Amino acid sequence: MFKAVLFDLDGTLLDIDMNIFLKHYFETMTTMAAQSGFANHRQLAGQVFKSTGVMISDRNPATTNQDIFMSDFYASWPYPRHQFEPFFDHFYREGFPRLSYLCRPIKGVPELIHFLTDKGMKLAVATNAVFPLTALEQRLTWAGLDPSLFELITSFEVMHFCKPHLEYYLEICEKLQVKPRDCMMIGNDVGEDMVAQKLGMKTCLIEDYVIDAGNADLEPAWRGKMSEFMSYASDLFR
């Protein structure tokens, strides 16, 4: 029997089009940087995107994703960390919440999380670890979920790897103190989420907002709509 259930966030627990969301995310960040008096605000989105790519590629177990991102970002950004970092705090406190209108809860998801909690499952938000915790907690609340119900939320402050690296999933298991074979991974991205099956995790593909870049060798153990998964889970965890 399973001991832990891992959920991707965007497109799995939360109804969101990430292409649209990220467009508004960077527009809001850039506008706020200009309003804060940073002359290089037009280059901000490109630098964040570039440093995020460096963070995703890095596989050094000694450095957190946050450390990798910040090291690369401030190596090229013309403002020192002590001067610019308060802006990031300001953005996530004031600007990020304005993006909630781009997201919607998915019917039945809060009930599913409570059902699994009642069954004694360890729950993790296994979203790609490229955002700070506040951005993930805010999106969880937009999904109608209480972040405290999850034993682990894979923010960039606590994780040392990103998807689709297998080390990312092994680190989750280490933090939850479970073995991969005792975990179920639920997500909507074939390449980033279903790769967990290579470690022995049972994988379930949520097809409502499926992302498939053609990873034909990653066939999930179960696939279907979120509404169908809820019925499947009620039988599996009975």
Residue at a domain's end among 100, 119, 147? 100
Domain that holds residue 189: 4-16+104-236
Residue 111: predicted pLDDT: 96
Is the domain of 220 the same as that of 164?
A: yes
In a structure prediction context, what are the per-residue pLDDT tens digits for the chain, which is 238 residues long? Answer: 899 999 999 999 999 999 999 999 999 999 999 999 999 899 999 999 999 999 999 999 999 999 999 999 999 999 999 999 999 999 999 999 999 999 999 999 999 999 999 999 999 999 999 999 999 999 999 999 999 999 999 999 999 999 999 999 999 999 999 999 999 999 999 999 999 999 999 999 999 999 998 866 899 999 999 999 999 999 998 8
Angle at 196 between CA 138 and CA 22, to 5 degrees: 35
Is the domain of 128 the same as that of 60?
A: no
Residue 67: predicted pLDDT: 98
Is the domain of 180 the same as that of 120?
A: yes
Strand blocks (E) in the chain: 4-7, 14-16, 103-105, 122-125, 152-153, 183-187, 202-206, 222-224
Is the domain of 114 the same as that of 211?
A: yes
Residue at a domain's end among 71, 100, 129? 100
Is the domain of 152 the same as that of 172?
A: yes
The residue whose two tokens read 């069954």 is 119
| CATH code, 166 | 3.40.50.1000
β-bridge mates for residue 23, sequence order = none
Residue 233: predicted pLDDT: 93
- Helix, strand, or coil (residue 224): strand
Residue 217: predicted pLDDT: 84
Is the domain of 12 the same as that of 23?
A: no
Residue 214: predicted pLDDT: 82
Sheet with 4-7: strands ordered across: 152-153, 122-125, 4-7, 183-187, 202-206, 222-224
Is the domain of 124 the same as that of 185?
A: yes
DSSP conformational letter for 137: H
The domain total for the chain is 2
- The model's pTM is 0.96
Is the domain of 10 the same as that of 29?
A: no
Residue 216: predicted pLDDT: 67
Residue 107: predicted pLDDT: 94
